[in-house]
Chains A and B, each alone.
Chain A
Amino acid sequence: MQPVSPNAEGKTPNAERHGSFQQLRLDQITRSFGGTVALAGLDLTIQAGEFIALLGPSGCGKSTALNCVAGLLPLTGGSIWLDQQRIDQSRPEQRGFGMVFQNYALFPHLTVRRNVGFGLLMRGVPRREIRRRVDAVLELVQLPAHADKLPGRLSGGQQQRVAIARAIVIEPSVILMDEPLSNLDAKLRLEMRAEIKRIHRDLQRTTIYVTHDQEEALSLADRIVVLNEGRTLQIGSPEELYSQPANLKVARFMGYRNIFDLEIEHAEESRVFLAGSGIQLEGFTQERLTTGRAVVTIRPEDFVVDTAEIAPDSINTRNIILGQAEIVEYCGRDYLADVSTPSGLLLHVRTSRRVVPGENLRLAVPAERVLAFSPE
């Protein structure tokens, strides 16, 4: 369908698209509840039009951060700036940020049309203008047929779209989304993810998106902020986070499922040579590892799987691991196999090559896909 801009007031397209600011700056924002710190000094400068994902496990402070930006939770420390204007003291209705809630928070007593038009009504937009803009945005989220229904009569995905429509129709300078897809089933989640991506592409609104799903964050965001226990672990582009996680926690979150200890043999700058458990690996590190033990992480899909020509324990080559497939799960496009080495190491391997339980395998892993960290 045609992307329909919900506004046509003749403002210059660029200013319109980017709202009225250049930067949204979170300066050491902190929130504690009683004695517990839910968010400890988040520092982030967001450029207008950027899509930011706050990623982390539940209780990591990501929703707290979002509620602080929205103004629903007062800060206990730090400040929020829209260019040169400090906004952390102003109330949510004064900030004018659009928010999509996890449970959608649609007004159950108002029709879809009046839900979506609510923000415009509050802004004193004339009735005919409200109708026109609501119709346009319902078109954008593909819901014009449901305009006069109550939210309770819509499916989860439709309610979700109404919530998005309601947040974007007021043309907010910033859109905040709090796990908007977590209540949807897997198939709908994929569809709505694409929908959110499309709306962001069309409207170029600055978006802060909270999720615990790294796939969602990777696929949607320009930049990802990984949080854990209220602290910022890493901020970077999806590619950076995926290939160069800053530490073990981020690595774990980014799908590095194989995590084991090895002894450092020697290190050259960022290259490290490791050995132990009957294997030898060459890998990379961003830390200053020189001696002692290191934690090695490898993603299941980074192994190149082949048949072992010889018995598992008879060869010991760098970055080659021999082992025997134990449990094999067929996942449609590929296989998920648990492979045990003669020394008892259990590796998770993902491969498109057909694997049968009991089979002897040769796992090769490129040095740049082996990441080493200092032990936690």
Chain B
Amino acid sequence: MTMSSFDVRRSSGTFDRTLLLVVPGLLIVLALFLYPFLFGFILSFSTGKGTSLGNYAKFFSTPFLSDTIGTTLWISLPATLANIGLALPIAFVTRRYRFRRLLTTFLVVPITLGTVLVAEGLLIYLGPQGWLNRFLLTTHLSTSPVHLTHNYWGVFLSLIISGFPFAYLLLLSYLTGIDPTLPQAAATLGASPWRQFVHIYLPLLIPGLAIVFCLSFVQAFSVFPSAVLLGAPAGPTRVISIAAYQAAFEDYDYPMASAIAMIMAGVQLLVVVVVLGARILFYRGPSSGAKG
């Protein structure tokens, strides 16, 4: 076997000039992500009277602000779990579906539309005069309009509609990455389809589920447009991003807004660390048959 020129250069120990190609990308990352992040981080410590933890202290001592953590978790965690709970069985059933490409194309549409358009659509469709309520009322399935907008459920539904395709597509790729001979082997050993799922698919999907959970959760936790448009932004759906928005653009208190953003990042990080940490309890190796 001949080594490719890439291997030769990599093993020679001298500086590889092709590495310089990374520089532009690195600069963009530094300029667009790291610098604003660090700037906000430092800004969050500045108060009117110099640098301190004052903004953080204020956040946690003001229930109007600190309650937003609970409110946001109360929306984002159930929505994430519901997304995965829906996406997993549907991905499993459709993994060998003949029209899977059509289905995935169809499901990608909500992602491409963006949350604002989806929220507007839901607002009209689910509203008191929307199609859903008209249908329920004319068919006498319900005697009064069902309230699904401007409350918790409006935001929840919008998170499902924008989050489900994402979870579905990710889980589908994890599922199809599992060596198909493994469940076949389980079948020849007497495992019914359900037990193949429980004993083979599920354990091998744990790492994928953890990643999908983290990505879905971070998306749901930073919910903003649908919480404003479809929710009750003054009350039950006053999520943490609304608090940050109000601090920044209604009170013009950028340091406070930065502090809220940092707290938001901290909560997300905490959940992600807990979930990824729990992965250690499970098998994390390759999901194909062991190599020869």
Contacting A93 at CB < 8 Å: which of B181, B190, B282?
B190
B292 located at the interface, meaning its Cβ lies under 8 Å from any Cβ of chain A in the complex: yes
B173 located at the interface, meaning its Cβ lies under 8 Å from any Cβ of chain A in the complex: no
CB pair A72 B188 closer than 8 Å:
yes
* Chain A positions 65-104 with a Cβ under 8 Å from a chain B Cβ: 70-72, 91-93, 95-99, 101, 103-104
Across chains A and B, the number of contacting residue pairs, with CB separation under 8 Å, is 98
A335 located at the interface, meaning its Cβ lies under 8 Å from any Cβ of chain B in the complex: no
Q: Which residue of A lies closest to B204 (CB)?
A: A109
CB distance from B283 to the nearest CB of A (A): 4
> Which residues does chain B contribute within 8 Å of A103, judged by CB atoms?
179, 181, 288-289, 292
* Chain B positions 263-292 with a Cβ under 8 Å from a chain A Cβ: 282-283, 285-292
Contacting B285 at CB < 8 Å: which of A72, A109, A119, A183?
A109
CB distance from A191 to the nearest CB of B (A): 15
> Which residues does chain A contribute within 8 Å of B189, judged by CB atoms?
93, 98, 118-119, 122, 166, 170
CB pair B285 A92 closer than 8 Å:
no
Per-residue interface assignment for chain B, residues 173 to 212, with 1 indicating a CB less than 8 Å from any chain A CB and 0 otherwise? 0000001011011111111100100011001100000000
CB pair B288 A108 closer than 8 Å:
yes
CB distance from B116 to the nearest CB of A (A): 42
Contacts A96-B190, A159-B290 known; A107 to B200 CB distance under 8 Å? yes
Contacting B187 at CB < 8 Å: which of A93, A104, A106?
A93
Contacting B192 at CB < 8 Å: which of A93, A118, A176?
A93
A98, A119, A150 — which one has the most chain B CB atoms within 10 A of its CB? A119
* Chain A positions 137-176 with a Cβ under 8 Å from a chain B Cβ: 150-152, 154, 156, 159, 166-167, 170, 176
A184 located at the interface, meaning its Cβ lies under 8 Å from any Cβ of chain B in the complex: yes
Per-residue interface assignment for chain A, residues 330 to 344, with 1 indicating a CB less than 8 Å from any chain B CB and 0 otherwise? 000000000000000
CB distance from B240 to the nearest CB of A (A): 37
A324 and B201 CA atoms in complex are apart in Å by 63
CB pair A122 B181 closer than 8 Å:
no
CB pair A92 B289 closer than 8 Å:
no
CB distance from B229 to the nearest CB of A (A): 44
CB distance from A148 to the nearest CB of B (A): 14
A93 and B195 CA atoms in complex are apart in Å by 11
> Which residues does chain B contribute within 8 Å of A96, judged by CB atoms?
190
Contacts A103-B179, A105-B179, A109-B203 known; A72 to B187 CB distance under 8 Å? yes
> Which residues does chain A contribute within 8 Å of B181, judged by CB atoms?
101, 103, 105
Chain A at the B interface: mostly helix, strand, loop or mixed? loop
CB pair A118 B186 closer than 8 Å:
yes
A127 located at the interface, meaning its Cβ lies under 8 Å from any Cβ of chain B in the complex: no
CB pair B188 A92 closer than 8 Å:
yes
A11 located at the interface, meaning its Cβ lies under 8 Å from any Cβ of chain B in the complex: no
Contacts A107-B182, A108-B204 known; A123 to B289 CB distance under 8 Å? no
CB pair A108 B292 closer than 8 Å:
no
CB pair A118 B199 closer than 8 Å:
yes
Contacting A152 at CB < 8 Å: which of B179, B182, B199, B290?
B290
A151 and B289 CA atoms in complex are apart in Å by 9
Contacts A105-B181, A105-B182, A108-B287 known; A93 to B188 CB distance under 8 Å? yes
Contacts A101-B181, A109-B203 known; A152 to B286 CB distance under 8 Å? yes
Per-residue interface assignment for chain A, residues 173 to 193, with 1 indicating a CB less than 8 Å from any chain B CB and 0 otherwise? 000100000011000000000
> Which residues does chain A contribute within 8 Å of B286, judged by CB atoms?
108, 152
> Which residues does chain B contribute within 8 Å of A107, judged by CB atoms?
182, 185-186, 199-200
CB distance from B174 to the nearest CB of A (A): 14
A9 and B204 CA atoms in complex are apart in Å by 35
CB distance from B190 to the nearest CB of A (A): 4
A109 and B200 CA atoms in complex are apart in Å by 8
CB pair B184 A72 closer than 8 Å:
yes
Q: Which residue of A lies closest to B183 (CB)?
A: A105
CB pair B292 A184 closer than 8 Å:
yes
A184 and B291 CA atoms in complex are apart in Å by 11
CB pair B204 A70 closer than 8 Å:
no
A99 and B188 CA atoms in complex are apart in Å by 6
> Which residues does chain B contribute within 8 Å of A91, judged by CB atoms?
187
> Which residues does chain B contribute within 8 Å of A92, judged by CB atoms?
184, 187-188
CB pair B285 A98 closer than 8 Å:
no
CB pair A104 B190 closer than 8 Å:
no
Q: Which residue of B lies closest to A106 (CB)?
A: B290
Q: Which residue of B lies closest to A104 (CB)?
A: B289
CB distance from B242 to the nearest CB of A (A): 43
Contacting B290 at CB < 8 Å: which of A104, A119, A166, A184?
A104
A84 and B204 CA atoms in complex are apart in Å by 40
CB distance from A100 to the nearest CB of B (A): 9
Contacts A103-B292, A109-B203 known; A152 to B285 CB distance under 8 Å? yes
A108 and B290 CA atoms in complex are apart in Å by 6
> Which residues does chain A contribute within 8 Å of B290, judged by CB atoms?
104, 106, 108, 150-152, 154, 159
A317 and B195 CA atoms in complex are apart in Å by 72
A109 and B288 CA atoms in complex are apart in Å by 10
> Which residues does chain A contribute within 8 Å of B289, judged by CB atoms?
101, 103-106, 108, 151
> Which residues does chain A contribute within 8 Å of B187, judged by CB atoms?
71-72, 91-93
CB pair B285 A159 closer than 8 Å:
no
> Which residues does chain A contribute within 8 Å of B283, judged by CB atoms?
108-109, 150
CB distance from A130 to the nearest CB of B (A): 12
Question: In the complex, given contacts A93-B189, A108-B286, A170-B189, what are 17 additional A-B residue pairs having Cβ atoms less than 8 angstroms apart?
Answer: A72-B184, A98-B188, A101-B185, A103-B181, A104-B292, A105-B182, A107-B200, A108-B182, A109-B203, A109-B204, A109-B283, A122-B191, A152-B286, A154-B290, A159-B292, A166-B189, A170-B190
Q: List 7 A-B contacts (CB under 8 A).
A: A72-B188, A92-B184, A97-B188, A103-B181, A104-B290, A152-B285, A156-B292
**Closest 3 interchain pairs by CB?**
A109-B283, A119-B189, A183-B292
